[in-house]
Structure 1
Amino acid sequence: MRQDEIWDVEAAQSYDTPGTGMFAPEVLEPTVDRLAELADGGRALEFAIGTGRVAVPLTQRGVPVTGIEMSQPMIDLLRTKADDATIPVVVGDMATAGAPGTFQLVYLVYNTISNLLTQAEQVACFRNAARHLAAGGRFAIELWVPEVRKLPPGQQAVVWQSEADYIGLDTYDVLRQQVVSHHFWFDDGRQARVFRSPHRYIWPAELDLMAQLAGFELESRQADWHGTEFTAESRSHVSVYRLPHCGSSAGAAGRW
């Protein structure tokens, strides 16, 4: 299934959960605070801007935001919150689409780079970010750490959340570095609502190599938007890559 087929009208309408989940203040506010800091007074470009979960509050913080998004239903929902003059959006694939102008920050949040299902597409995404950035500009990525260590021999699935009305599980294809996330919602009846999305998982070291191929250096890596130290037990990371300033050359990835 293609990504534009997954993120259809139904998915867009169920995406926003004001005040809870991804939209909970304790999740969203540190994200916006850190991105505003990284933008450093300049313009920001969000790859896969979606319904504007991050872009709308970031714009309200005074950071001009432009978006790239392939799902028209997601853009339509964003337009109920901000018009095109406030948050311009280019319809297209984040690995290849271009937005006008130059930016100080490009960002990709909530594991979205994994929606690109091949290594080549993910490398192209880094290169696309680099094309949009001014010298010294940053590319920020929020991504989960693959939980393959939880898979005993012969097992292909991991349940990562289980509640009375919800089960979330991932099925892995470790040969192809692919994972499908399955979300099941239950009510009091006998039926369940299911949403599935395919991903290509990326190890932090592989992500750093992709960055080097696009001319970036690793500037920082924390476990979350609060700045928690990244360790071997961290389940996610926020990695910030930076292009060299004019007159300098890109070297190896920065220290962990």
Structure 2
Amino acid sequence: MTDDDGYFGERVAVDYDTSSAEMFEPALVDATVDVLAELAGAGRALELGIGTGRIALPLARRGVPVHGIDLSRAMLARLRAKPGGDAIGVTVGDFSTAKAEGTYSVVYLLFNTIMNLTTQDEQVACFRNAAAHLAPGGCFVVEVMVPELRKLPAGQTVVPFHTSATRWAFDIYDVATQATSSNYVEVVDGRGEYRSIPFRYVWPSELDLMARLAGLRPRERWEGWTREPFTSDSDRHVSIWEKPVA
């Protein structure tokens, strides 16, 4: 992953909550926290890529002790500035390799954040890191999109997702490497600005194999946090793998 001066530094952190406002909708946050609190039980939760605390803070308010790992000090500063943020333990580092003290009942990685790891090796390392933090019987939860390529006409690899008079945004896919990028063009005071953020898209079956390599076994897969069935038409999924007790 990139360092704090890169893709998730101050430029992104300053308006992250506003630009991702749909992910802060109370119904979505409550449904997410319901699942995570149930999985945590009387234990602790570890969030990989804790960011500004969208889920960690309401989960902590439910009485679940939460620790987070994140590389971006700018994002963590926003977490700390929120009510209750100073009570959340944080480890600064790459969540695919950084270690937090102790074990956890649930480790979770939300909102496509697994795709911030831009190589397969890094994604496999993330699963192994999550498994190493789990107590026996604990669960690793990943929320991520299903790649949109399956719905595109043959040969199309550019997917627009925002257009306005001053701002355009589109994803570019490379099917040979599973590399993708989100690209933003914005006109401010007559001047154009361009920004590109790299990702690596990943299929559900590939995640299952990563889990197996980490010693985890499948437990649940839903389309969303209200436990809708995952089908061939689903454009996202919430997947849960369990660490065997013995």
Please report the TM-score for the alignment, with normalisation by the length of structure 2: 0.92
Partner AA of 2:66 in structure 1: V
CA 34–165 in structure 1, closer or farther in 2 if over 3 Å, else same: farther
> In 2, are the aligned partners of 1:31 and 1:225 still within 8 Å (CA)?
yes
- Alpha-carbon distance in 2 for matches of 1:36, 1:18: 26
- Alpha-carbon distance in 1 for matches of 2:3, 2:151: 27
What value does the CA root-mean-square deviation take over the aligned residues? 2.2
Determine the structure 2 residue equivalent to 1:42. Answer: 43
> In 2, are the aligned partners of 1:3 and 1:115 still within 8 Å (CA)?
no
The CA deviation string for residues 118-172 of structure 1, in whole angstroms up to 9 with x for no partner, is 1111000000001101000000000000011233333220123446665432101
- Alpha-carbon distance in 2 for matches of 1:224, 1:183: 27
- Alpha-carbon distance in 2 for matches of 1:18, 1:205: 30
Instruction: List structure 1 runs of 4+ shifted beyond 6 angstroms.
Output: none
| 1:151-170 superposed matches below 5 A | 151-162=152-163, 167-170=168-171
CA 122–163 in structure 1, closer or farther in 2 if over 3 Å, else same: same
- Alpha-carbon distance in 2 for matches of 1:230, 1:183: 31
The alignment partner of 1:105 has SS state of: strand
Determine the structure 2 residue equivalent to 1:136. Answer: 137
Determine the structure 2 residue equivalent to 1:254. Answer: none
> In 1, are the aligned partners of 2:79 and 2:85 still within 8 Å (CA)?
no
- Alpha-carbon distance in 1 for matches of 2:193, 2:225: 31
Determine the structure 1 residue equivalent to 2:16. Answer: 15
| CA positional deviation for 1:186 | 6.3
| CA positional deviation for 1:23 | 1.1
The alignment partner of 2:172 has SS state of: strand
CA 157–64 in structure 1, closer or farther in 2 if over 3 Å, else same: same
- Alpha-carbon distance in 1 for matches of 2:20, 2:156: 36
The alignment partner of 1:114 has SS state of: helix
The alignment partner of 2:18 has SS state of: coil
Partner AA of 1:148 in structure 2: L
Name whichever of 20-29 and 189-198 sits farther off: 189-198
- Alpha-carbon distance in 1 for matches of 2:12, 2:86: 25
- Alpha-carbon distance in 1 for matches of 2:184, 2:29: 22
Determine the structure 1 residue equivalent to 2:216. Answer: 216
> In 1, are the aligned partners of 2:53 and 2:85 still within 8 Å (CA)?
no
Determine the structure 2 residue equivalent to 1:198. Answer: 198
> In 1, are the aligned partners of 2:118 and 2:179 still within 8 Å (CA)?
yes
The CA deviation string for residues 182-218 of structure 1, in whole angstroms up to 9 with x for no partner, is 245567x645665432111000000000000000011
Question: What runs of 5+ residues in structure 2 fail to find an aligned partner?
Answer: none
Taking only the aligned residue pairs, the percentage that are identical comes to 49
> In 1, are the aligned partners of 2:141 and 2:238 still within 8 Å (CA)?
yes
CA 193–36 in structure 1, closer or farther in 2 if over 3 Å, else same: farther
Name whichever of 129-138 and 177-186 sits farther off: 177-186
CA 221–161 in structure 1, closer or farther in 2 if over 3 Å, else same: farther
When the two structures are aligned, how many residues end up with a matched partner? 245
> In 2, are the aligned partners of 1:182 and 1:197 still within 8 Å (CA)?
yes
The alignment partner of 2:69 has SS state of: strand
